[in-house]
Structure 1
Amino acid sequence: MSLKAKTITGFFWSLLQQFGVQASSIIVTIFLARILEPSDFGLIGMLAVFMALGNSLIDAGMTSSLIRTKDADHRDYSTVFFINLFVGIIVYAIMVACSGFISQFFNQPDLEQIIKIYCLTFVIYPFSAVQRTRLVKMMDFKTEMKITIPSTLLGGLLGLIMAFQGYGVWSLVGMNLVQNLLLSIQFWIYSSWRPSFLLDWDRFKKHFDFGAKLTLAGIINSVFSNIYHLVIGKYFPLAQLGYYTKADSLKQIPVKNISTTLSKVTFPMFSEIQDDDDRLKIAYKRIMQQVLFWLTPVMVLSAVLAEPLFRIVLTEKWIPAVPYFQILCFIGLMFPIHSYNLNILKVKGRSDLYLKLEIIKKSLTVIGIMVALPFGIFALLWTQVLLNIVAFGINSFYSGKFIDYNVSKQIRDILPIFFVGAISALGSWLLKGWVQSAPLLDWIHLIGGGVFGMAIYFIIMWGAKSEPFLDFRRIILKK
């Protein structure tokens, strides 16, 4: 199978997997949000930075190195497997030892016991990390779909049963634990690969040399991607962290479905053509335009229609989360651009530059938080938007040097998509303002505004013969 065919097939199955998982998660989330309180989600939100940090340490960037290494063999995989498992046990032990300090920091006594159970995933995850990596490397996302969807559904079902029985925050803990356990079990069932007790220190050094800088960058990124959970949890009421956590998780639904799907497919695909700068540039440009072509209308219309969306899906008690969600939608639009720019640095083997850029961007984040914190939570969120725009400039400046695709060229290619998205959002907002009173008003606003906005967007894209629209049509027609 050609690289193009593998990429398109991989994208299809990866997208199907993401939509299946997210559809399952959405259904579970809707019921859980209706039963549980915002403070329950706030407690789990307090752990976000620690979970992200622990996962970065366990992986150590070595699975990315396995994907990038064209001649990885059984010795490579076994070495990474046992190193990941050892680090996972150590990370869990550290979290248990620190659980009391963390609960005191947030002034939440219940958090100590939650950490001891919730963080068991650090020991479970390494058992399937290499099996998952092998599937990604082979672009076998069909098998991954068969594994992740049942795990999400069964774990979610347990969470719902516990919530109905009155277990509160422990419903979220049990759901997470069962989902991860089922994932590991199924990856072993579906994968033919089994580790041998091989620890090749030369192979370890090879993968660690590449992965160490990615790990340090990942640690920095994990801490600062979730630092707002930490700051809000420390300095604001627990319910506000719950609103932020829920708004952020809903924002991630379209972002994960579209951009994360392509990110999983593009890294191994970029790795295949890492030595051909012209092909890398063409592939990068077309993929970035394609993902923004689909993500933009979803994010801008979600922001415009957030109030009826939250009222219908999550009930009135979650309405305070609406402004959080609207601001975070702008950040969601920037995610794929960051992801693909940084993938260029990884496939070029420049993990040193990747680390350097993360240090620069996160230093700016610290300054931004210190300046914004006295002005309240919304100042923090708008600062996050501004920092994402600055990060785009930094990432694209350096990655653009490798493939002759600088900041101005990238802006020129994506700005028309954002412009048309803004027009569709305006049309949807005007329609929402025009219909002020009617039976089932929220449903009319949500469905009518969404359909009207989408119609405006795709009609303009079709009439203007936009590049991503023509690209998609060529893919569908197999030209």
Structure 2
Amino acid sequence: MLFKIPMPPSNTLVFKKMSLGHSIRHGAKWVFIGNTGSQVVNFALGLILARLLVPAEFGMVATIQIFTSLAGFVAGGGMGQAIVRAKEAGKRDYDLLFTLQFLIGLAIVSFFFVIAPWFGRWYANPVYADLLRVAALSFLVRPFFNVPSNMLHREMRFKAKTAVQLTNLAVYNSIALSLAYLGYGPWSLILAGLFGSISGALQFSWYARWRPGICFDFARAGELMRYGLLATSNNVVSYLQSQVTIFILSRSGNATLVGLFNKALSLAYMPFTMISGSAYEPVFRAIAQSADNPDRIRYLYLQSIRLGCIYTYPIYVLLYWLAPEAIRFFYGANWLGSAEPLSILIFAGFFMSIGHPAGALLAAINLLGKELVIQLVNLVILILGMLIAIPYGLKGAAWVVVFSQFVGMIYITFVACQAIRIRFVDIAHAVIPAAVHAIILLISLAMLEKLAGNVIHGDFLTLAFFGTAAAGIIVLGGLFSPFEAMRAESKKMIGVVRNRLALAGNKNNESENFSNRFLSTSIPPHSRKRFVVGKRFY
């Protein structure tokens, strides 16, 4: 709920107890917990599944998922996102959303059932046809899943969404592991996905207190579908971007190179996904709610960049420094070939942390058309670059990804600055604290290696030593930083530890972690003054 903002003499914006700022911080925390929990659980259980299923069975499911994932963007139609950003939404709107998504899902299921025999013949294996048909049944469940999920998103109830996400993760993996152990092969993953969707739909409906209804308001449907078409187009192009590098590499016929590059890409994107990506949903909703308050939109946007960089840049520096040891320790020597492309792809993470908040901004203020143009330009750069880079192997492919992310970051940031009337120098002010401290951390690690390089041996000791040292450098460097944002975050981190120790065992007190404080929307006077000069906004 958005409350009116009083304007006391100090010009500081004050929020009520259950303010928008509290909702964003609370939401970012729970999205972060959900993302991190999913990453950890999937990683651990993936190791077990890898021993129960052979690569060919994984390959069959992966092939099915290429087509069902693409159809999934069409099934949602982006209309749920349109409901989330709308100023007002009632039961009639949710009934209309459910009706439209169910009809689209029914059409997709019918399409897959018709083409299933041809699909099986194409891959010379009739099992593919049966797998595709069963996997397609999930599109009949998705409207029951998506609509209450959109309701919770709109109400910024991310704790409930995370509870469903983690419970569903347990349901999916329990079914998948049980069926794989019993020898069901690829069916274990397909059936786990279907029953996981049903479980999620029931949970979301319970949390949202939602019951399905039918509505055929075609005028309102046109509004939702216009926005939804742009949202879907953006999602499809983004999906193609994520797949095009792997697809072009696969045409070389060297499956080993594809596997190594895919591993490097997933590791390079992991810090960004867990930290900066966790803020996307709450920031999108908060900006959509703040349509009548340009000051708050500007501050939310710059704050999301500032804090995203503060928390991701040190992780990227440490990952860059320890890439070979980390890969060899966690994945084994066979995966060591991922270390070199990983050390290059890390630069893409630096750029994504800056550019990603602009995507949430443009989506929230209904400028998806401009974002779609940016996505298409980026896709063309990736395709042309990969075709040129194939002779240069994994290093060439990695530099193409970095270049495309750099161009995309510049382009989308420029569009965002124009949209909310701020300058590039404001973006620089948001990034500089994290960038300076990342350089200091890198220099410090280099000095430590000179001093202790001959003493520390073995991957585990190297990871433990430099990881501990980096944590100390980050906290101490932040405390004595000339940048106020860095000092504030270091004090928060120390306060978190102190509070956790002081409140241990007290279940009625909830201490904040860094993701709880990921975004602060109380606009301090000095920030507001920098944006407003006379009647012109900067």
Separation (CA, whole Å) in 1 of partners of 2:210 and 2:334: 48
* Corresponding residue for residue 283 of structure 1: 300
Deviation, structure 1 residue 238: 3.0
Separation (CA, whole Å) in 1 of partners of 2:168 and 2:240: 27
Q: Residue type of the partner of 1:265?
A: P
Separation (CA, whole Å) in 2 of partners of 1:275 and 1:291: 25
Q: Structure 1: any 5+ residue segments left out of the alignment? A: none
The 5 Å alignment of 1:430-469 reads 431=448, 434-435=452-453, 441-469=458-486
Residue 106 of structure 2 is aligned with which of 84, 89, 105? 89
The 5 Å alignment of 1:1-16 reads 1-16=18-33
Q: 1:236 to 1:174 in 2, by over 3 A?
A: farther
* Corresponding residue for residue 356 of structure 1: 373
* Corresponding residue for residue 172 of structure 2: 155
> Which secondary structure state, in structure 1, belongs to the residue aligned with residue 276 of structure 2?
helix
Residue 159 of structure 2 is aligned with which of 142, 145, 152? 142
Indicate yes or no: 2:322 matched with 1:322. Answer: no
Q: 1:250 to 1:95 in 2, by over 3 A?
A: farther
Deviation, structure 1 residue 247: 3.6
**How many positions carry a matched residue from both structures?**
478
Q: 1:230 to 1:177 in 2, by over 3 A?
A: farther
* Corresponding residue for residue 252 of structure 2: 235
Q: 1:220 to 1:3 in 2, by over 3 A?
A: same
Which shifted more, 402-411 or 201-210?
Answer: 402-411
* Corresponding residue for residue 203 of structure 1: 220
The 5 Å alignment of 1:175-214 reads 175-214=192-231
Residue 64 of structure 1 is aligned with which of 68, 81, 85? 81
Percent identity of equivalent pairs: 21
> Which secondary structure state, in structure 1, belongs to the residue aligned with residue 215 of structure 2?
coil
* Corresponding residue for residue 310 of structure 1: 327
> Which secondary structure state, in structure 2, belongs to the residue aligned with residue 236 of structure 1?
coil
Separation (CA, whole Å) in 1 of partners of 2:139 and 2:262: 21
> Which secondary structure state, in structure 1, belongs to the residue aligned with residue 89 of structure 2?
coil
Q: 1:166 to 1:271 in 2, by over 3 A?
A: same
- Over the aligned positions, Cα root-mean-square deviation in angstroms equals 3.3
Separation (CA, whole Å) in 2 of partners of 1:205 and 1:311: 53
> Which secondary structure state, in structure 2, belongs to the residue aligned with residue 13 of structure 1?
helix
Q: Structure 2: any 5+ residue segments left out of the alignment? A: 1-17, 496-516, 523-538
Q: Residue type of the partner of 2:146?
A: A
Indicate yes or no: 2:395 matched with 1:417. Answer: no
Q: TM-score, normalised by structure 1?
A: 0.87
Residue 259 of structure 1 is aligned with which of 266, 276, 291? 276
Residue 301 of structure 1 is aligned with which of 318, 329, 340? 318
* Corresponding residue for residue 358 of structure 2: 341
- Higher radius of gyration, 1 or 2: 2
Q: Residue type of the partner of 2:152?
A: L
Separation (CA, whole Å) in 1 of partners of 2:117 and 2:211: 38
Deviation, structure 1 residue 89: 3.4
* Corresponding residue for residue 506 of structure 2: none
Q: 1:225 to 1:98 in 2, by over 3 A?
A: farther
> Which secondary structure state, in structure 1, belongs to the residue aligned with residue 467 of structure 2?
helix
Tell me if the contact between 1:39 and 1:241 (Cα under 8 Å) persists in the aligned partners.
Answer: no
The 5 Å alignment of 1:70-109 reads 70-95=87-112
Separation (CA, whole Å) in 2 of partners of 1:252 and 1:9: 24
Separation (CA, whole Å) in 2 of partners of 1:103 and 1:328: 37
Deviation, structure 1 residue 399: 0.8
Separation (CA, whole Å) in 2 of partners of 1:423 and 1:107: 57
Which shifted more, 450-459 or 60-69?
Answer: 450-459
Tell me if the contact between 2:264 and 2:342 (Cα under 8 Å) persists in the aligned partners.
Answer: yes
Tell me if the contact between 2:280 and 2:357 (Cα under 8 Å) persists in the aligned partners.
Answer: yes
> Which secondary structure state, in structure 2, belongs to the residue aligned with residue 66 of structure 1?
helix
Q: 1:357 to 1:268 in 2, by over 3 A?
A: same
Tell me if the contact between 2:475 and 2:490 (Cα under 8 Å) persists in the aligned partners.
Answer: no
Indicate yes or no: 2:235 matched with 1:218. Answer: yes
Separation (CA, whole Å) in 2 of partners of 1:236 and 1:430: 43
> Which secondary structure state, in structure 2, belongs to the residue aligned with residue 376 of structure 1?
helix
Q: 1:255 to 1:121 in 2, by over 3 A?
A: farther
Q: Residue type of the partner of 1:392?
A: M
Q: 1:181 to 1:297 in 2, by over 3 A?
A: farther
Which shifted more, 129-138 or 17-26?
Answer: 17-26
The 5 Å alignment of 1:398-417 reads 398-417=415-434
* Corresponding residue for residue 24 of structure 1: 41
Which shifted more, 258-267 or 452-461?
Answer: 452-461
Deviation, structure 1 residue 203: 1.3
Deviation, structure 1 residue 115: 4.5
Q: 1:413 to 1:5 in 2, by over 3 A?
A: closer
Separation (CA, whole Å) in 2 of partners of 1:257 and 1:380: 24
Q: Residue type of the partner of 2:147?
A: V
Separation (CA, whole Å) in 2 of partners of 1:162 and 1:466: 54
Separation (CA, whole Å) in 2 of partners of 1:167 and 1:241: 27
Tell me if the contact between 2:245 and 2:382 (Cα under 8 Å) persists in the aligned partners.
Answer: no
Deviation, structure 1 residue 391: 0.4
Indicate yes or no: 2:412 matched with 1:395. Answer: yes
Residue by residue over 1:347-382, the C-alpha shift from the partner in whole angstroms, topping out at 9 and shown as x without a partner, is 222222222322333232332223223433431221
Residue by residue over 1:2-40, the C-alpha shift from the partner in whole angstroms, topping out at 9 and shown as x without a partner, is 111222222222223333333322322344456667776
User: If each structure's helix is expressed as a fraction of its own residues, which one has the higher value?
Assistant: 1
Tell me if the contact between 1:35 and 1:163 (Cα under 8 Å) persists in the aligned partners.
Answer: yes
Residue by residue over 1:302-323, the C-alpha shift from the partner in whole angstroms, topping out at 9 and shown as x without a partner, is 2322333233333333333333
Separation (CA, whole Å) in 2 of partners of 1:41 and 1:66: 36
* Corresponding residue for residue 513 of structure 2: none
Q: 1:196 to 1:118 in 2, by over 3 A?
A: closer
